[in-house]
Structure 1
Amino acid sequence: MKLPRARIALLIGLAGMLILVAVIVSPLLLMSMPSFLSNGTTVDCDDSVQVEEVSDSGTSDIPAEYLELYKEHGKKIGVQWNILAAVGKRETNHGRSDLPGVKSGTNYAGAAGPMQFLISTWGGKARIPVPSKFNGYASDGDGDGVGDVYNPADAILGAARMLKRNGAPENVRQALFVYNRAWWYVDQVEEIARKYAKSGEVKVPPQASEDCDEPLVEAAPNDLVAKILQYALAQRGKPYVWGGTGPDSFDCSGVIYAAYQAAGLSIPRTTFQQWPFGVKVLAGQEQPGDLVFFNAGPGTSANNPGHVGLVVSKGKMLEARCRLCGPIKVTSYQARDNQVGFTRPLQNPDVLEQLKKLQNPSL
């Protein structure tokens, strides 16, 4: 049967549209879909914190206002809400304790507020304008411009930031030990957290492993970025060491420097040098191979970021964060509240010249 020309044209057009959709969507699917091992087992490559349902005992024990704050700030910062709630329970019974330092002043150790921060770690004062120049965990959880250690919204946000800084959610026991340096305390908090969760567990997000590398590399915008990602992802699990450039350990900028070097490119070594080197990229337009910077570390500011990660997919980065934060891993950059911006080193004029020489060694 001979088809009319109009129908043939329609079928060709539909086929073209399907191909176009496949070209656009397939990289996105590769970034989000689970990876399959050779034995057929699926590996969950999502490193986000799973939302735990509240148990009956949690609902009855935690005041409604506090429960919402634990959930809100746990999700925002990327730590388990039930761990936050367990700290609040263990420290002050969710602010209900009448002991010194909970609602005013400090206790015998100098701690204050519902989450019992040492005033020195909060920022030196119980109430501090936010933002302000301090090195503590003073936080503004209710948007009133003040970090108040006695305000549950501020204190719980500060506690979430402190736990995140010290290894949560992956290494939650280490983070709790830093919060109050006693393993019996860690055990008690974890036991409370298990009771607050309907599952009876403290769920830890799976750290992206080698089984999750292929989708990320396949979704890279070009072969050069794929080489950068391949090297960087292969360093996962190695320890953070300040000044490290491999092969056994790295710091935040060192692993990025080494990854670009593995692709035949030379970029500056330190975070402070890498920030002005790349071409600035608007948030939302970043892509794998770009760098994301944070106002973190000694001597840093919004114009002089001290921490950097390598974007491996939208919302995710590879980072070597700090000595206490656990090994190099893939984490989320979207939940960080001290993000400064993105850059694209591959558009730096010096790198463009290097690329020309790589493509044509005779130049």
Structure 2
Amino acid sequence: MSALAKAATGVGCAVLALPLLAALIVAALLNAALPGGGAAAAPSSHALADIPPAMLALYQRAAPACPGLSWTILAAIGKVETDHARHPTMVSTAGAVGPMQFLPTTFAAYAYPVPPDGANPPTPWDPVDAVFAAARMLCANGARGGTDLHRAVFAYNHSEQYVAEVLHIAGQYAIAAPAPTQAAATAVGFARRQFGTPYVWGGNGPADGGFDCSGLTQAAYHAADITLPRVAQAQYNAGPHIPTKSPHSPGDLLFFGTSPSNITHVGIYSGPGLMIDAPHPGAVVRERPIDITRRADYQGATRPASHGSSR
């Protein structure tokens, strides 16, 4: 971390044998392409074998404290620092302590609010407190919405090699999400251009004064030359459906309701932990954090760009 002087520490901090330029390139590429967001990225077989189940669940639970942050980043930091709390002492020569290697003074800046099941008062020795504090620190330095993961991890430890290693490990921990097709990218771009447009029930666009949820998704894919049914239930039925544990790709449609046969809302997945939608009367088209693992009304996702009716 920035205040830890990690070069002098004896815990974690193994580095990649990469020239600095190569490390920067790897970091930049992974920053742009890291799959999934929050708890949404499915763990790879490597992650399941390497991360203790309790720590994996904790990384996934803490990531939504920073909308758009992938749990894989927290897990990769936990791996580099203490091998997921397996290090026998978890004390560095610089005085950093605990599973995420915080100096007590640095930890204090990110310790509150006390997370569920955390120690009270919070302590960097407690895994729950430490992982949530790490998520908050990353968020404060560029990780919110995936804006600048490189800067966020560099703030955690001022080393380009550290950044490259963390992003490399994070990439290994998640099942890779498919790259969005041109049609999906067009649909997301259209939806972004509608930010601030009022919600209008039954609305199909400016001629109606705004959009409702399925009017927005239909119009977005119309811009990509893919025809969708008009209402959310019909869009859900049209598919093609994405397997439950598969990672999302920008342009996927996320559906909500009380059951698969009672879909009441749809939005467009736009990036790690984010969704664009026209939410409800009195609101406007916006992009917001979304953690589907904590939504009891989430019913599944489709990928129209892989199987649509082209005009």
Q: Which has the higher contact order (CA 8 A, sep 6+)?
A: 2
TM-score with structure 1 length normalisation?
Answer: 0.40
TM-score with structure 2 length normalisation?
Answer: 0.46
The structure number with the bigger radius of gyration is: 1
